[in-house]
Amino acid sequence: MKIRFYISFLILFFQCLNVFATHNRAGEITYEQIGPLTIRATITTYTKASSSSVDRDTLRLFWGDDTSEAIMRTNGEGTLLPGFDIKVNYYTAEHTYPGRGNYTMYFIDPNRVSNILNLNYPNSVDIRFYIETSFALLDDQFQGLNSSAILLQPPIDFACVNQRFIHNPNAYDPDGDSLAYELVTPLENVGEPVPNYVLPNAVSPGLDNTISFDNQTGNFVWDSPQSPGEYNIAILIKEYRNGELINSIIRDMQILVDICDDIPPEIEVQEAYCVVAGETLKIPIKVTDPDIGQQIILTATGGVFQQDSINIDWEDVLQYQDTEYIDTLVWNTECHHVREHPYQLVFRATDNGLSPTEGLSDLKTVSIKVVAPEPKNVEIESNSNGFDIFWESPYFCENAKNNYFKGFSVWRRENSNPFEIDSCEIGLENKGYQIIEFSTQTLLNGKYYFRDANIEAGKVYCYRILANFALTTPGGFSYNLVESLPSNEVCATKSRNIPLLTAVDVKSTGMNDGSIFVSWLKPIAVDVDTIENPGPYTYVLEYANDISGYTEIPGASFSSTLLSDPVDTSFTWTNINTVANSYFFRVAFYSDQNLLGYSPFSESPFLTIVGSDAKNILSWPTETAWRNYAYEVFRFEDVSNDFELLNIAESEFYEDNNLINGEEYCYKIKTIGTYGLPNTPEIITNFSQEVCSTPIDTVPPCPPMLDLTNDCIKNGGISIKEELINFLSWNNPSFVCEESSDIGGYKIYYSSDSLENFELIFEINDPDDLNFEHLPTIGSEACYYVTSLDMIGNESTPSEVICISNCPLYVLPNTFTPNQDGANDVFVPRENKFIELIDFKLFNQWGNKIFETTDPNIDWDGTDLNGNEVDEGAYFYNCTIFKDNNASEEEATQISGFIEVIR
């Protein structure tokens, strides 16, 4: 209540001070958290310098905790921008809050500058200037401090008519939190958007006047302004930590557009870099200007300078230079530069095409991600209790500044995942690994070390190591965790005392003459314990149609006296059906007829294909003891009369597109995998059976977008003269949807009882007929949806269901003959649709009421309230018509007229 009173008083005070004052152009509020409950806030405003009568040496900041404070300007009388009617003002103060929580601090001023073209034009001067910043005071002991982003690009920028304009606020967060951007409507008070606001491209709109906004980088692109003048936009900068929004800033900024004979310079620079901490990053920049004879200046701003300017070799070019101008920014990165989110670096080149010191600018945003190097030289050793994993010490970044390095995490999965390490992809998300040790820095014999004792015999375990970095709270807790690049992978299996399958390869496809080649590795002798388990040793190949119910394959049993003796470890199973299904295989291992165990099972690749519209959809889900990491898709080609490599897939799914419906295509798959174990094949390959499929159009088109209107706006939504119909219109989906290139028509569905019991009421066989008119006969509401049909009859899913109130109809006759002849003896409406309640009153020529009813059927028999027949003549009526029983008087329709009684 205090705040609301104070705002009202403040506004009234300033309005009395100067009714016609013009002042604020742009601004924002930023802050730094300097204690558990204390912040240092800065209001930055850009004002009209010539409006000296309303210059503010003091502003009132509302802290968001029911308190406010008058804050003195901290940069003297403000800083003038040379050559412009613009002054920059800073107001800084500190404040301690009563406790942790969410707060919104704001500043409000009575006037903006006048004649902002896209904001209450031409009376923008009457609109209040309001900016706010919302934030959460976190538990600093556990969650860390929370300062706002720093906005490095000023909120005033300049553009030319018919020239592409780009702006970026260039926000940097000192806490390493992630930032996102949103284009919003400027405010004039708490929760109150300014009136009559449009985006700048709505002024002189057209195809050559468009705006785009990048929510990730904050780039605002206007291509291109058409009318000179002043424009305002507002950008919401949002800050997230661990996926939670922890603060936001509303920047209200101004764009000054002029007519100028100038083309902006052009910056050529790579827009994204990834660098490993410790490496030197070099960013070459070239600037040209299409206007002959013009010169440029070049500046760079961004978080890299805020983080560490010592290691950056760059000087802004503040003296005008001839073009073509070439320069290089050099950054010697260090380990404390590692962050989860990229740094943003903004280069700005400005020419002197408007005056010797003024011109247009080009702006390029460069993303720089600094990643931590991988732990190196990971090795694995087996011991009686499990596996020992070792990696190199010292780690390159273990002495990062500010205690930034937090140790290593150990990750494990069953079977190998030999993915290629991307120099910009940190961590192991979606790679199939699970963390088994969150933090360790244990050393053994000069190396980092971890022991995994939680293992099972016969399984293949694979490991990778990550280095972890984080900021530290005053309480010693970590936040904003960042992971390094993943280490190399090491794999091992405990006690290889059973065989390992290495091939389940379909050699030929047939119903009765198919064949599959199967091979395996013998167990390792030292793991078998040949003294306790003496020979002879026998290998028996078994199969099943699923993972249970295995049967010995005839002729696939092989024996040797000693484990080291040569023995056949492969078998080609012939005269089988490889068309109908896959097969699961395993090898039973016997010592002197005693079963020692089974190899892990593996399934032969089995390809299935679904034909669709101009494409075949291939899938081959396969279970194997090793991990398949790539799949080669082969298609039969008539020209070569053989299967040729079509593509390489990373998953067990592939779509072959742009085919001809009705033509047959044949395929087979080659799987590529590995155990990742010593003394096993580095690459394991197997083919599927051959499968043919014919694409056919079974894909329904996209649904239309339905629009529904009627003319019930007049007369309170009630027609008193004629029946009003519902108008349906929709688009042709072929213009917006690839699946809808062959639209053949549409179906219209209708329901009189809301969202149930739809029925087909009409079918249109012309794809360009996009309208339908319908006159409902029952119900107060009508609901519709439309589907589209392709040329062969595939029907789309329904469009959005849209309901509309039916147009009620109520028409009264003007004559009545109650003469008992059986015709027109009772006065009733000539038309009544959907009317449930009326207030009907009938009067004679002296104004006496002779009849009344609320029944919409009226049913007057020509007698008065006493039951006496009325005389022939004209009688006046007033009738209030309600659309339904709950309608108010304001929603009702009033009609009046005369009834001629003829006997």
Residue 232, Cβ density class (10 Å: 0-12 exposed, 13-18 middle, ≥19 buried):
buried
Average pLDDT value for residue range 710-739:
72
Report how far residue 794's alpha carbon sits from residue 897's, in angstroms, rounded to the nearest whole number: 55
pLDDT at 620 over 80: yes
pLDDT at res. 787: 96
Residues 833-876 have pLDDT tens digits of: 778 889 999 999 888 999 999 999 999 999 999 999 999 999 99
Residues 742-787 have pLDDT tens digits of: 899 999 999 987 677 899 999 999 999 999 999 887 777 889 999 9
pLDDT at res. 721: 52
Residues 19-77 have pLDDT tens digits of: 445 589 999 999 999 999 999 999 999 999 998 888 899 999 999 999 999 999 999 99
pLDDT at 11 over 80: no
Residues 223-238 have pLDDT tens digits of: 999 999 999 999 999 9
Residues 503-536 have pLDDT tens digits of: 999 999 999 999 999 999 999 888 888 888 888 9
Residues 367-398 have pLDDT tens digits of: 999 999 999 999 999 887 889 999 999 999 99
Residues 142-162 have pLDDT tens digits of: 899 999 999 999 999 999 999
pLDDT at 18 over 50: no
The number of residues in the chain equals 903
Using CA atoms, how far residue 281 sits from 172, 329, 779, in Å, is 20, 8, 72
pLDDT at res. 275: 96
131, 151, 143, 149: which is closest to 32 by C-alpha? 149
Q: Which of 355-369, 514-528, 642-656 has the lowest mean pLDDT?
A: 355-369
Residues 453-474 have pLDDT tens digits of: 998 877 889 999 999 999 998 8
pLDDT at res. 754: 65
Task: Report residue 719's pLDDT band, with 50, 70 and 90 as the boundaries.
Answer: low
DSSP H or E segment with residue 286 = strand 280-288
What distance, in Å, lies between the first and last C-alpha atoms of the chain?
72
Task: Report residue 306's pLDDT band, with 50, 70 and 90 as the boundaries.
Answer: confident
pLDDT at res. 3: 34
pLDDT at res. 17: 38
Q: Which residues pair with 895 in a beta bridge?
A: 879
pLDDT at 79 over 90: yes
Residues 159-171 have pLDDT tens digits of: 999 999 999 999 9
Contact 584, 543 (CB under 8 A): yes
pLDDT at res. 868: 92
pLDDT at res. 95: 97
Query: Which tokens hold the place of 426?
Result: 């940190």
Task: Report residue 575's pLDDT band, with 50, 70 and 90 as the boundaries.
Answer: very high
Report how far residue 407's alpha carbon sits from residue 845's, in angstroms, rounded to the nearest whole number: 101
Q: Is the bond into 856 cis (omega within 30 degrees of 0)?
A: no
Average pLDDT value for residue range 231-255:
96
DSSP 220-247: EEEE---S-EEEEEEEEEEEEETTEEEE
Rg of the chain over Cα atoms, rounded to whole angstroms, equals 40
For residue 693, the number of C-alpha atoms closer than 13 Å in the C-beta half-sphere is 25
pLDDT at 13 over 70: no
What is the widest separation between alpha-carbon atoms in the chain?
A: 129
pLDDT at 666 over 90: yes
The overall average pLDDT reported for the chain is: 90
pLDDT at res. 722: 58
pLDDT at res. 609: 96
Report how far residue 699's alpha carbon sits from residue 882's, in angstroms, rounded to the nearest whole number: 48
Task: Report residue 9's pLDDT band, with 50, 70 and 90 as the boundaries.
Answer: very low
pLDDT at 590 over 90: yes
pLDDT at 810 over 60: yes
Report how far residue 424's alpha carbon sits from residue 273's, in angstroms, rounded to the nearest whole number: 9
Average pLDDT value for residue range 346-372:
88
pLDDT at res. 451: 96
251, 108, 124: which is closest to 183 by C-alpha? 251
Task: Enter the DSSP assignment of 311.
Answer: T
pLDDT at 343 over 50: yes
Phi, psi (deg, nearest 5) at residue 901: -90, 125
Please report, rounded to a whole number, the percentage of residues in the chain having pLDDT higher than 90: 70
